[in-house]
Amino acid sequence: MARENTNQTQQINAPDYLAWHVTQRAEKSFWTKVGAAWKHKDGRGYTLQLETCPINGRIALRLPLEDAPDTTNEAGRT
């Protein structure tokens, strides 16, 4: 039964969006996962937790893809 509770907690705590640091080099964009965002209970905002704080480029919030590997540094956008 404890295993079911753990899975439910993980699903509840799963982020609504992943935060990606995006830099442009020539004609290619490089995406590095830097954090995640969770919707507030009242639905009027998000909490953004960054593991690192980039000083250049931009931060993009994207829906997590369940089948995407965690180690990817590119999210397929150019």
pLDDT band at 70 (very low <50, low <70, confident <90, very high): very low
Average pLDDT score over the chain:
81
CB atoms within 10 A of CB 21: 21
Give the whole-number percent of the chain exceeding pLDDT 70.
68
Spatial neighbors of 52 by CB under 8 A, at least 6 apart, are 21, 34, 35
DSSP code, position 76 = S
Q: CA of 12: how far to CAs of 17, 40, 41, 42, 76, in Å?
A: 13, 12, 12, 15, 27
Which pLDDT tens digit goes with each residue over 12-25? 689 999 999 999 99
